[in-house]
A and B are shown apart, each in its own frame.
Chain A
Amino acid sequence: MSGLVFLIPIALLLGAIGLAGFLWTLRSGQYDDIEGASERILDTRFDEKPEQEGDSQEENK
Chain B
Amino acid sequence: MLACCPVDYALNDITPMRESKGLNWSGDLVADPSPWVRYTNDGIVFVDADKKTATDWAQLDILVPEVYCAACIGAIEANFKKLKSVKYARLNLTRKRLTIRWDEQLNSAKDMMVVLEWLGYHGQPFDRKSFDSNQSDKQLKHLLTALGVAGFAASNVMLFSVSVWAGADASTRVFFHWISALIALPALAFSGQTFFKSAFYALRAGRLNMDVPIALAVLLAVYVSVSETLSGGAHAYFDAAITLLFFLLAGRYLDMSMRQRARSAAEQLISMSATAATIILANGERQSIKLANINLGDKIFVAIGEKIPVDGQVIEGKSDIDRAFLTGESIPETTHIGETVHAGSINLTGSLTLKVTAIGQDTLLADIIRLMEEAERTDAKYVRLADRVAKLYAPAVHVLALVTLIGWLIYGLSFTPALFIATSVLIITCPCALGLAVPAVQVVASGILLRLGILLKDGIALEKLADVNMVIFDKTGTLTLGRPVLVNQAQISDQHIKQAASLAVNSKHPLSQAIVRTATERGLTFVTNDTITEEVGKGLKGLDDKGRVVLLGKQDYVAPEIKPTLNYNAEFYLSVAGQSPISFIFEDSLRPDAKLTIDKFRNAGLEVAILSGDRQLVVENIADQLQIDNWQANCSPQDKLNHVNGYQKLGKKVFVVGDGSNDAPALAAAYVSMSPGSATDISQLSADLIFQSQSLLSTYKVWQISKFSRGLIKQNIGLAIGYNMFAVPIAILGFATPFVAAIAMSTSSMIVTLNALRLRLKEKSL
Contact = CB atoms under 8 A, between A and B. Distances in A.
12 contacts: A11-B156, A15-B155, A26-B144, A31-B141, A33-B92, A35-B94, A39-B70, A42-B70, A45-B78, A55-B81, A56-B82, A56-B89
A43 B78 CA distance: 11
Contacts of B159: 11
B173 to A, nearest CB: 13
A16 B70 contact: no
Interface string A22-40: 1100100001111110011
Contact of B156 (A15, A41, A60): A15
Contacts of B305: none
Tell me the dominant secondary structure on chain B's binding face.
helix
B70 A43 contact: yes
Interface residues of B, number: 31
Given A33-B92, A45-B78, A18 B152 contact: yes
A39 B73 contact: yes
A25 to B, nearest CB: 9
Contact of A39 (B69, B95, B179): B69
Contact of A8 (B84, B141, B145, B179): B179
Contacts of A16: 152
A54 interface: yes
Contacts of B26: none
A1 B69 contact: no
B179 A43 contact: no
B148 interface: yes
A22 B159 CA distance: 20
Instruction: Rank and list the top 3 A-B pairs by shortest CB-CB distance, nearest first.
Output: A36-B93, A56-B81, A39-B70
A15 B95 CA distance: 33
B86 interface: yes
B94 A57 contact: no
Contacts of B78: 45
Interface in A39-61: 39-43, 45, 53-57, 59-60
Contacts of A59: 81
A39 B96 CA distance: 13
A40 B73 contact: yes
Nearest to B144: A26
A39 to B, nearest CB: 4
Contact of B73 (A34, A43, A54): A43
Given A36-B92, A53-B88, A56-B88, 6 more contacts: A18-B152, A19-B148, A31-B141, A31-B144, A36-B73, A43-B73
B144 A56 contact: no
B336 interface: no
Nearest to A31: B144
Tell me the dominant secondary structure on chain A's binding face.
helix
Contact of B93 (A15, A33, A54, A56): A33
A19 B88 CA distance: 31
B94 A32 contact: yes
B149 interface: yes
B459 to A, nearest CB: 18
Contacts of A60: 84
B92 A23 contact: no
A23 B73 CA distance: 27
Given A12-B156, A35-B94, A56 B87 contact: yes
Chain A residues touching B, range: 20 to 34
Nearest to B82: A56
A19 B149 contact: yes
Nearest to B163: A4
A55 B714 CA distance: 52
Contacts of A12: 156, 183
B91 interface: yes
Contacts of A15: 152, 155-156
Given A12-B156, A19-B149, A26-B145, A32 B92 contact: yes
A11 B157 CA distance: 11
Contacts of A53: 87-88
Contact of A36 (B94, B144, B155, B172): B94
Interface string A4-22: 0000100110011011001
Interface string B138-158: 000100110011001001100
Nearest to B171: A1
B718 interface: no
B722 interface: no
Contacts of A43: 70, 73-74
Contacts of A55: 81
B94 A34 contact: yes
A41 B69 CA distance: 11
Nearest to B69: A39
Contacts of A33: 92-95
A39 B75 CA distance: 13
B145 A23 contact: yes
Contacts of B83: 56
A54 B159 CA distance: 46
Contacts of B80: 56
B330 to A, nearest CB: 37
B148 A26 contact: yes
A14 to B, nearest CB: 9
A39 B93 contact: yes
A44 B306 CA distance: 39
A27 to B, nearest CB: 8
Contacts of A18: 152
A50 to B, nearest CB: 14
- The winner among A26, A42, A56, A59 for most chain B CB atoms within 10 A is A56
Contacts of A36: 73, 91-94
Interface in B567-621: none
A49 B370 CA distance: 55
A57 B327 CA distance: 52
Contacts of A22: 148, 152
A32 B144 CA distance: 12
Contacts of B69: 39
A53 B77 CA distance: 13
Contacts of B84: 60
Nearest to B97: A33
Interface string B78-112: 10111110111101111100000000000000000
B520 to A, nearest CB: 33
A8 to B, nearest CB: 7
B747 to A, nearest CB: 24
A35 B70 CA distance: 10
A26 B94 contact: no
A3 B83 CA distance: 62
A55 B347 CA distance: 44
Contact of A19 (B70, B82, B152, B179): B152
B312 to A, nearest CB: 43
Interface string B153-194: 001100100000000000010000001000100000000000
A37 to B, nearest CB: 8
Interface string B305-332: 0000000000000000000000000000
A22 B93 CA distance: 22
Contacts of A42: 70
Nearest to A61: B84
Nearest to A41: B70
A54 B94 contact: no
A42 B94 CA distance: 16
Nearest to B160: A8
Contact of A35 (B82, B93, B144): B93
A30 B430 CA distance: 33
Contacts of B82: 56
